[in-house]
């Protein structure tokens, strides 16, 4: 009795200590989550803070008088005269009308520098498309030079160097006042390929390149991965050979991705003679990289199908193949899809293996096929982050946001598919 | 089982088809590879060329000078690059490899110079330094300051310990890793240039001298900051006590926040780099495979665009992005040779 009492006493005494321990344990858990979340918040705040201005473009809207005399272009259908015509002059004239005190050649040149390098090309293309506009006055919108854009967007931020002269700054202030220079949503960023002019640079080329590469990866890695997983789980005999294969697949999942790039270079480009920088080769390399992930997650999904389902199917006379195709596969599919999408998301963010097969390149044109030179989103970010022009820093951060949006939506699809297709027993 | 077989078979067929069908494809786009230092200049030319002509925009890969020359010299044919950029001249060994692989007619074009600067935040004390002092500040082993003819582990902690005219601040320099061409050039021009001014090292044997000259200290005074020069610029802005080593174009782009050290009494300005007065400057080049001219459309026109006065001249658009143009006479000569597609003999490299 006495003994029991003291035991109760001991428990009662230690109870407080144990509760405290539990409190501390909970606190450590919360602390871990807070650290992880705050790291994420800092990352997002930094990227969004730096990058949101990448979604803003600065434009100049001008009343352009297409005066044949100013442009030295009497006959726009004459190819020779067309190539010798001055398409910059009417733009400078139109700017001159908007600002005060811009006289003389030097001032005109400085004024012309406010416009995007390819503004004259834009006018040339417009005249080429419709020679009838010669001699009329057109309201046209051009991109501003990125120095102007930096001044308008970041003029009071000391980390940005404003490269305009004082006179140019005064003009820009006047033009902003007059509503000629405006900021608006940067649609160019989503409709252009790469460019060395930050104002003209866009992610469309990289997005299309990523989609083409991912298409190849998905079409190859999902069927091969699922087939390999089914065979290994359901059909393969348990022997040394299958053990060996299993160990190797697990090892492959941990191999650094650049090794797959080396393999791709040696096999697909040097041995098969495929061209460099194309989405097919990129897709093949990323297939090799994602296969182990897909095989491992698919095998786990197949393993999680209860044996009772197989036994029941076999019990009513289904063949092995019927069991697999009619019962195991549909039930394992959500897990397989989730694994594949996570593998694909990993492949989407990969640059290292693509470096070796030539996809880290400056490509202006948006790719239009699997054998057309292309780059991918993370590579585009890498290239912009290394560019000397300050305006590319915000472009790089904006592209990171686009990439994150893709990754988040892929993961959301994975979760949605799992919720929708998952069955509980 | 049959499914697996079918999948494997179809993949094999697809791979084989791709392999067979691709080499026969004629190439419409110029392929350019090579130096990451030349990349920002060549891409600007390529883009203008693509927009202003009917040719498609050349594809540019940044592989590094050595990697570019390796691909370039792999052979003739549309699966090899047409042009390679380099931040150093082709080596005789590379020329021989090119020749033995059938790449016999190579056109060499020198396009200008690039300076390497030692810069800091404008909040820091600017350096007025000599190459010898740079060597003493950054080498792994230096001659014993107490005298004697032995090399000792670099004892200098503050700049002022090297010379009293330098600031009394700890030596902290951020620079590119050994894989970078900028680091190669810095080692060769600044470190080696500085250490050869020391008699004791000059008297050493060639290998030992190279070892002594090009080893950079690893005790934390020199920090490898990665290939990305923007990263170094950002770090300098947030840490005014540090100095950074990077290309001139990054200095120009950040002229509002950074300042560059005067080396051997010369400031890194366009004039000083162009005339080779500034000691840490190197030439930039590109090489054209003549056998591809006329096979891949637009090569001659691209070279013409690159070597026109409006591109690489004193007021050309490459000067706007930080290229230091050649002197006018050298430019004219180079443009003439490029237009005539004058090939290399190999003797000019010796």
Confidence of residue B1 (pLDDT cuts 50, 70, 90): very low
d(CA A404, CA A40): 12
Full set of structural domains in chain B with CATH:
28-114+282-349 (3.40.190.10), 115-281 (3.40.190.10)
Asked if the Cβ–Cβ distance from B230 to A197 is below 8 Å, we say no
Asked if the Cβ–Cβ distance from A362 to B254 is below 8 Å, we say no
More confident site: B150 or B57: B57
Asked if the Cβ–Cβ distance from B40 to A196 is below 8 Å, we say yes
> Around Cβ A135, how many Cβ atoms within 10 Å?
11
pLDDT at A106: 83
Confidence of residue B24 (pLDDT cuts 50, 70, 90): very low
- Note the pLDDT tens digit of each residue in B49-72: 998 888 999 999 988 888 899 999
Confidence of residue B74 (pLDDT cuts 50, 70, 90): very high
- Note the pLDDT tens digit of each residue in A255-264: 999 999 999 9
Angle between helices A89-96 and A119-129 (to 10 degrees): 110
- Note the pLDDT tens digit of each residue in B201-241: 888 888 888 888 888 998 889 998 877 788 888 889 888 88
Q: Is residue B21 predicted with pLDDT exceeding 50?
A: no
Work out the percent of chain B whose per-residue pLDDT is above 70. 92
- The tokens describing B277, both together, are 């007065």
Closest residue in B to A200 (Cα) is B47
| Contact status, residue B344 vs residue B73, Cβ threshold 8 Å | no
Q: Is residue B4 predicted with pLDDT exceeding 70?
A: no
pLDDT at B14: 54
- Report residue A192: phi and psi, to 5°: -115, 160
Q: Is residue B12 predicted with pLDDT exceeding 70?
A: no
pLDDT at A200: 92
Closest residue in A to B238 (Cα) is A159
| Contact status, residue B57 vs residue A192, Cβ threshold 8 Å | no
| Contact status, residue A218 vs residue A282, Cβ threshold 8 Å | no
How many residues are given for chain B? 350
- Note the pLDDT tens digit of each residue in A293-332: 999 999 999 999 999 999 999 999 999 999 999 999 999 9
- Note the pLDDT tens digit of each residue in B253-305: 888 889 999 999 999 988 888 888 899 988 899 999 999 999 999 999 999 99
Rounded to the nearest 5 percent, the helix, strand and coil shares of chain B are 40, 20, 40
Query: How many H helices and E strands in chain B?
Result: 17, 13
- Measure CB to CB from residue B56 to each of A230, A273, A365 and give the nearest one: A365
Confidence of residue B20 (pLDDT cuts 50, 70, 90): very low
pLDDT at B107: 95
The vertex-B86 CA angle with B83 and B87, nearest 5°, equals: 160
- Note the pLDDT tens digit of each residue in A377-404: 999 999 998 888 888 989 999 999 999 9
Q: Please tell me whether the overall predicted TM-score, pTM, comes out greater than 0.95 for this model.
A: no
ipTM (interface predicted TM): 0.80
> Around Cβ A67, how many Cβ atoms within 10 Å?
15
When pLDDT is averaged across residues A133-155 and rounded to a whole number, the result is: 90
For residue B139, the 8-state DSSP code is B
- Note the pLDDT tens digit of each residue in A1-30: 556 668 888 888 888 889 999 999 999 999
pLDDT at A56: 93
Question: Which fold does the domain A204-421 belong to in CATH?
Answer: MetI-like fold (1.10.3720)
- Measure CB to CB from residue A385 to each of B4, B57, B230 and give the nearest one: B230
Q: Is residue A101 predicted with pLDDT exceeding 80?
A: no
d(CA B159, CA B170): 6
Which residues of A sit within 8 Å Cβ distance of B? 117-118, 121, 158-163, 195-197, 220, 223-224, 227-228, 230-231, 235, 272-277, 280, 284, 358, 360-365, 371, 373, 383, 385-390, 393
Chain-wide mean pLDDT for chain A?
90
When pLDDT is averaged across residues A120-134 and rounded to a whole number, the result is: 88
- Note the pLDDT tens digit of each residue in B77-130: 888 999 999 988 898 999 999 999 999 999 999 999 888 999 999 988 888 999
Q: Which helix (H) or strand (E) holds A298?
A: helix A279-303
Largest Cα–Cα distance in chain A?
118
The shortest C-alpha distance from A366 to chain B (Å) reads 11
The shortest C-alpha distance from A227 to chain B (Å) reads 6
When pLDDT is averaged across residues A169-195 and rounded to a whole number, the result is: 93
When pLDDT is averaged across residues B177-205 and rounded to a whole number, the result is: 84
pLDDT at A148: 92
Asked if the Cβ–Cβ distance from A231 to B7 is below 8 Å, we say no
pLDDT at A260: 94
Q: B75: left (phi > 0), else alpha (psi -120 to 50), else beta?
A: left
The shortest C-alpha distance from B180 to chain A (Å) reads 13
- Note the pLDDT tens digit of each residue in A270-298: 899 888 899 999 999 999 999 999 999 99
Q: In chain A, what are the domain boundaries? A: 57-184, 204-421
When pLDDT is averaged across residues B309-327 and rounded to a whole number, the result is: 88
């Amino acid at each position: 009795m006495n003994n029991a009492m003291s035991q109760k006493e001991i428990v009662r005494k230690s109870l407080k200590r144990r509760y405290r321990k539990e409190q501390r344990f909970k606190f450590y858990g919360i602390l871990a989550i807070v650290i992880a979340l705050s790291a994420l918040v800092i990352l997002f705040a930094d990227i969004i803070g730096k990058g949101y201005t990448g979604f803003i473009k600065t434009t100049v809207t001008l009343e352009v008088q297409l005066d044949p005399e100013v442009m030295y272009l009497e006959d726009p259908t004459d190819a020779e005269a067309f190539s010798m015509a001055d398409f910059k002059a009417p733009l400078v004239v139109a700017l001159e009308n908007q600002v005060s005190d811009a006289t003389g050649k030097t001032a005109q040149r400085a004024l012309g520098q406010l416009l995007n390098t390819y503004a004259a090309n834009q006018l040339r293309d417009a005249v080429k498309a419709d020679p009838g506009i010669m001699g009329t006055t057109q309201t046209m919108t051009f991109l501003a030079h990125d120095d102007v854009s930096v001044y308008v967007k970041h003029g009071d931020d000391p980390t940005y160097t404003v490269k305009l002269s004082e006179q140019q700054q005064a003009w820009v202030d006047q033009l902003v006042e007059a509503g000629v220079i405006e900021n608006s949503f940067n649609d160019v960023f989503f409709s252009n390929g790469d460019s060395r002019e930050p104002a003209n640079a866009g992610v469309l080329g990289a997005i299309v390149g990523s989609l083409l590469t991912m298409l190849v990866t998905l079409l190859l890695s999902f069927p091969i991965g699922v087939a390999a997983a089914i065979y290994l789980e359901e059909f393969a005999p348990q022997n040394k050979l299958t053990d060996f294969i299993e160990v190797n697949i697990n090892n492959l999942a941990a191999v650094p991705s650049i090794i797959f790039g080396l393999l791709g270079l040696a096999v697909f480009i040097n041995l098969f003679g495929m061209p460099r920088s194309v989405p097919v080769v990129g897709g093949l390399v990323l297939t090799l990289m994602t296969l182990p992930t897909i095989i491992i997650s698919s095998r786990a999904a197949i393993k999680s199908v209860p044996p009772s389902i197989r036994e029941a199917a076999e019990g009513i006379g289904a063949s092995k193949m019927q069991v697999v195709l009619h019962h195991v596969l549909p039930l394992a599919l959500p897990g397989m899809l989730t694994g594949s999408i996570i593998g694909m998301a990993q492949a989407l963010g990969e640059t290292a293996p693509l470096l070796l097969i030539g996809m880290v390149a400056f490509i202006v044109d948006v790719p239009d096929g699997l054998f057309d030179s292309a780059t991918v989103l993370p590579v585009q970010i890498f290239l912009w982050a290394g560019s000397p022009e300050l305006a590319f820093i915000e472009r790089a951060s904006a592209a990171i946001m686009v990439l994150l949006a893709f990754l988040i939506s892929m993961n959301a699809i994975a979760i949605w598919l799992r919720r929708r297709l998952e069955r509980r027993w | 089982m049959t499914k697996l077989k079918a999948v494997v078979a179809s993949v094999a067929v697809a791979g084989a088809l791709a392999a067979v069908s691709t080499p026969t494809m004629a190439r419409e786009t110029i392929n350019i590879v090579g130096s990451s230092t030349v990349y920002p200049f060549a891409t600007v030319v390529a883009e203008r060329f693509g927009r202003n002509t009917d040719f498609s925009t050349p594809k540019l890969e940044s592989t590094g000078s050595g990697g570019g020359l390796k691909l370039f010299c792999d052979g003739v044919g549309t699966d090899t690059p047409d042009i390679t950029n380099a931040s150093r001249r082709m080596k005789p060994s590379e020329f021989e490899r090119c020749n033995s692989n059938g790449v016999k007619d190579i056109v060499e074009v020198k396009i200008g110079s690039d300076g390497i600067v030692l810069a800091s935040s404008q909040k820091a004390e600017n350096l007025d330094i000599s190459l010898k002092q740079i060597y003493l500040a950054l080498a792994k082993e230096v001659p014993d300051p107490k005298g004697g003819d032995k090399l000792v582990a670099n004892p200098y902690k503050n700049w002022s310990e090297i010379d009293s005219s330098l600031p009394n601040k700890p030596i902290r320099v951020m620079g590119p890793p050994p894989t970078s061409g900028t680091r190669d050039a810095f080692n060769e021009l600044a470190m080696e240039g500085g250490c050869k001014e020391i008699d004791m090292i000059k008297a050493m044997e060639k290998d030992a001298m190279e070892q002594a000259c090009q080893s950079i200290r690893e005790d934390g005074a020199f920090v490898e900051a990665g290939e990305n020069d923007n990263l170094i610029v950002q770090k300098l802005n947030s840490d005014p006590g540090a100095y950074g080593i990077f290309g001139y174009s990054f200095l120009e782009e950040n002229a509002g926040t950074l300042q560059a050290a005067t080396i051997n009494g010369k400031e890194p300005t366009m004039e000083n780099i162009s005339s080779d007065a500034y000691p840490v400057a190197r030439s930039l080049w590109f090489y054209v495979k003549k056998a591809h001219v006329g096979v891949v459309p637009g090569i001659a026109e691209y070279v013409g665009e690159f070597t026109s006065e409006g591109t690489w001249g004193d007021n050309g658009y490459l000067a706007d992005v930080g290229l230091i143009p050649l002197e006018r006479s050298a430019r004219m000569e180079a443009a003439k040779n490029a237009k005539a597609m004058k090939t290399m003999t190999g003797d000019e490299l010796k």
